[in-house]
Amino acid sequence: MKGTQYKYLDPEALSRLKNLSIAARLVVEGFYAGLHRSPQRGFSIEFAEHREYTPGVDPRHIDWRVYGRRDKLYVKQYEEETSLRCYLLLDKSASMGYKSDGPWSKLEYGSFLAASLAYLMAMQHDAVGLISFDTKVRDRIPPRQGPGHLRVIMEKLEQTSPGGETGLADTLHELAESIKRRALVVVISDLFDDAEGLVSALKHFRHKKHEVVVFQTLDPAELNFPFDDVTRIEDLENGREVTSDPRAFRKAYLEELSQFLAAVRQGCLDGQIDYALAETSQRFDGFLGNYLARRQMMHA
């Protein structure tokens, strides 16, 4: 990878992740000193490093030191058994192409996040994969390790562009069924779908024993609706137009958005799904660093 520059991999920004507050430093120690081997497990799955002995298991794997402390037989789990597998699920539907006055569209911002996480996990020798989708799954790169695999992910992110309309909940249900081995699943999307159906799909991953992180990626204009003279709105995905009085439209939009965001947050909380709102006006490295620091404090 040395000497290679990628649009969605800013080395300066990534380096700043290593120099945040003490809490952020603990997170980085998790990444670089052993997420799945350290007692401070920043962005990892809570794999136990021992499991109870069951008949038929090779007794050579019994940890006799643990037996001496607990008077119970436990079997060692080796590094390859506890290695982290991560799937980055990137929504590339038409609505993700939206950009108001900021430097990045939602898809570009989400791609920065995906590239950063892929890089950090690859540096830790964890297996990371990428799945992108719009009307259906478009790219599926299974989790693997190594710099060559990371290059494949980066090159795919370079080629990503907005696609068509998506039925997000249906696609997530399909993906939850297709990912067989326990993994960390990171969903990067604006989550524009029916809140109840969407939350049900996210909980499907939890039902399959995956750990789930959701980065809801939105443009500031979508959150604040700073349009005083809008009388007509066109849906980016299906082309439908809606007309209304500007003030009434803004009030109704913000009320509906507030209810939608509250429903998604509460649904994630109820489902033990980690949720964070990523506003594209934020520096992506700052957002990611702050999120990881908060997560580390929650899991400390």
- Measured from the Cβ of residue 283, the count of other Cβ atoms closer than 10 Å reads 13
| pLDDT digit string, tens, across residues 189-241 | 999 999 999 999 999 999 999 999 999 999 999 999 887 665 555 554 555 55
Q: Can you read off the two tokens belonging to residue 24?
A: 């952020």
Q: What is the predicted pLDDT for the residue at 14?
A: 54
Q: What is the pLDDT of residue 18?
A: 47
Please name which of 131, 206, 137, 216 lies closest in space to residue 176, comparing C-alpha atoms. Answer: 206
Residue 17 has pLDDT above 60, yes or no: no
**CA 109, 277, 143: angle at the middle one, nearest 5?**
60
Predicted model pTM:
0.75
Strands 50-52 and 127-133: unpaired
| Domains within the chain, CATH numbers bracketed | 47-82 (no CATH), 84-299 (3.40.50.410)
Dihedrals phi, psi of 176, to nearest 5 degrees:
-60, -35
The mean pLDDT value of the chain amounts to 77
Q: How confident is the model at residue 81 (pLDDT cuts 50, 70, 90)?
A: very low
Task: Indicate if the pLDDT at residue 174 is higher than 90.
Answer: yes
* Model confidence at 98: pLDDT above 50: yes
Sequence-distant contacts of 236-244: CB under 8 A, at least 24 apart: 236/94, 236/95, 236/97, 236/98, 237/93, 237/94, 237/95, 237/164, 237/165, 237/166, 237/192, 238/165
Q: Looking at the chain, how many residues does it have? A: 300
